[in-house]
């Protein structure tokens, strides 16, 4: 009577515990939509780690990809299962928290590499490509200390992990000189003693802020960057 039970236990122990395609629980999930003035081709959403200095997006590495669901609007959901690669990790200055940033992009089906971790093609100048230049997915490797340069840059003392940030274009020529001087003084208190380096930080052509909860990514077909920060300064 005991032998059948033993055989049953052996059979059950050989059953697979999970689907071979199972990647584990995602570290973070983002949802979004694709917008276009015309009809949508077959697309994929790709999350691309940026390996160059911000705000550039010409040296990137594929983190994940996901199908875009046709409809109005066309939607997608991307999951990140791994922390950012070493090539995407940077610091603003010695002793500051390590961070990495990624952009979501809409790409023609099959154009992104099938291999996660491979270099992704630079943005083609085509209407069936679109990037969300107005959001960055930012990973910080440790809690960001209050009063640090990284807190100033990110717009908050973020906890360790992934965050969605808004990116706003700034025309450095429109920043009043007294505002730049005040910024340089603030950064000196945060450890940026070199005034020239501080001015470079204070006159970057973009500004970061925390995105509201549940804000979606928006992939605008035809958009390949943050856009020019030039033009007339507001009165």
Top pLDDT among 120 and 105 is at: 105
Q: Tell me how many degrees the CA angle 90-93-98 measures, rounded to the nearest 5.
A: 35
Which pLDDT belongs to residue 27? Answer: 95
Q: What does the pLDDT look like over 185-223, one tens digit per residue?
A: 999 999 999 999 999 999 999 999 999 999 999 998 877
The mean of the pLDDT values for the chain is 84
Which pLDDT belongs to residue 119? Answer: 57
Coil/strand/helix, residue 227? coil
Q: How far separated are the first and last CA of the chain, in Å rounded?
A: 91
Count other Cβ atoms within 10 Å, centred on residue 47: 24
Alpha-carbon torsion (44, 51, 215, 166), positive or negative: negative
Using CA atoms, how far apart are residues 132 and 218, in angstroms rounded to an integer? 6
pLDDT of 101 over the 50 cut:
yes
Residue 120 contacts by C-beta under 8 Å, 6 or more apart in sequence?
46, 48, 60, 61, 62, 112, 113
Using CA atoms, how far apart are residues 83 and 71, in angstroms rounded to an integer? 31
pLDDT of 227 over the 80 cut:
no
Spans of all domains in the chain: 24-169+205-221, 171-204
Using CA atoms, how far apart are residues 60 and 131, in angstroms rounded to an integer? 12
Burial bucket for residue 14 (CB in 10 Å: 0-12, 13-18, 19+): exposed
Q: What does the pLDDT look like over 57-97, one tens digit per residue?
A: 889 898 888 888 877 788 999 999 999 999 999 999 999 99
Find where tokens 């083609």 sit: 124
Of 98, 106, 148, the closest CA to residue 126 belongs to: 106
Cα–Cα distances (Å) from 154 to 4, 158, 201, in that order, read 63, 8, 12
Q: What does the pLDDT look like over 164-176, one tens digit per residue?
A: 999 999 999 999 9
């Amino acid at each position: 009577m005991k032998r059948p039970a033993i055989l049953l236990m052996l059979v059950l122990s050989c059953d697979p515990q999970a689907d071979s395609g199972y990647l584990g629980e995602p570290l973070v999930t983002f949802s979004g939509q694709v917008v276009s003035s015309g009809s949508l081709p077959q697309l994929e959403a790709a999350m691309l780690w940026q390996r160059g200095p911000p705000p550039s997006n010409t040296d990137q590495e594929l983190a994940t990809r996901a199908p875009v669901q046709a409809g109005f609007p066309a939607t997608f959901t991307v999951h990140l299962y791994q922390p950012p690669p070493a090539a995407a990790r940077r610091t603003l200055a010695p002793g500051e928290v390590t961070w990495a940033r990624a952009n979501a992009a809409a790409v023609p089906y099959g154009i992104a590499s099938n291999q996660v971790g491979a270099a992704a093609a630079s943005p083609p100048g085509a209407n069936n490509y679109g990037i969300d230049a107005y959001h960055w997915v930012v990973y910080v490797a440790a809690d960001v200390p209050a009063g640090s340069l990284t807190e100033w840059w990110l717009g908050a003392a973020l906890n360790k992990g992934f965050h969605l940030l808004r990116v706003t274009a700034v025309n450095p020529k429109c920043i009043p000189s007294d505002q730049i001087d005040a910024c340089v003084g603030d950064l000196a208190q945060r450890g940026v003693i070199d005034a020239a380096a501080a001015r470079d930080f204070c006159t970057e052509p973009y500004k970061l802020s925390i995105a509201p909860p549940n804000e979606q990514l928006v992939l605008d077909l035809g958009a390949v960057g943050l856009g020019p920060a030039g033009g007339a300064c507001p009165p």
